[in-house]
Amino acid sequence: MIDVGSTLPEVTFGLMKDGKMTSPHTNDLFGGKRVVVFAVPGAFTPTCSEAHLPGYVALADKIKAKGVDSIICLSVNDAYVMDAWGKSANAEEILMVADGNAFFTKSIGLDMNTSDFGGIRSMRYSMLVEDGEVVKLNVEDPGRFEVSDAETMLNSL
């Protein structure tokens, strides 16, 4: 599993921009930037939609005021689903990034198999990344939502 001090792997993501699919690479999203990323098991799922994403939406300005260039919400979903979820949650300040094939999630060792829920998904976590290097990492225990929330991240910045 990835840890503090690790460099993020170079992969391709999915991201809707101005109504069009784009395919940014790790360096495009994290290179030369200070980024908060939080990952969820699935878009439109209960804890993710009722607490995780809304917390980051509500605190986005305060997080960015701490010198964060961007906030990324990551899920093993496609870019269209992530875009629709972001719009439904008024997440204009959050980059809704898709890891459709779970290449990133698997390569950092934060994948889990939820066969009855949807197959390979991401564990719930948050991290602070500076120029592609993990500076802070908060991984939730299965079924928990205690350390990857926006308030915890804001307080650690």
- Is residue 73 annotated as part of the catalytic site, yes or no? no
Distances (CA, A) of 93 to 9, 52, 57, 72, 86: 24, 14, 7, 9, 9
Q: Are strands 94-98 and 20-22 parallel, antiparallel or unpaired?
A: unpaired
What's the CA gap between 135 and 29, in Å, rounded? 16
Q: Residue 22 pairs with which residues in a beta bridge?
A: 15
Query: Which one of 8, 36, 48, 127 is the catalytic residue?
Result: 48
Element (H, E) at 28: helix 26-30
Nearest to 94 by CA among 141, 44, 150, 138: 150
Q: Tell me the catalytic residues.
A: 48
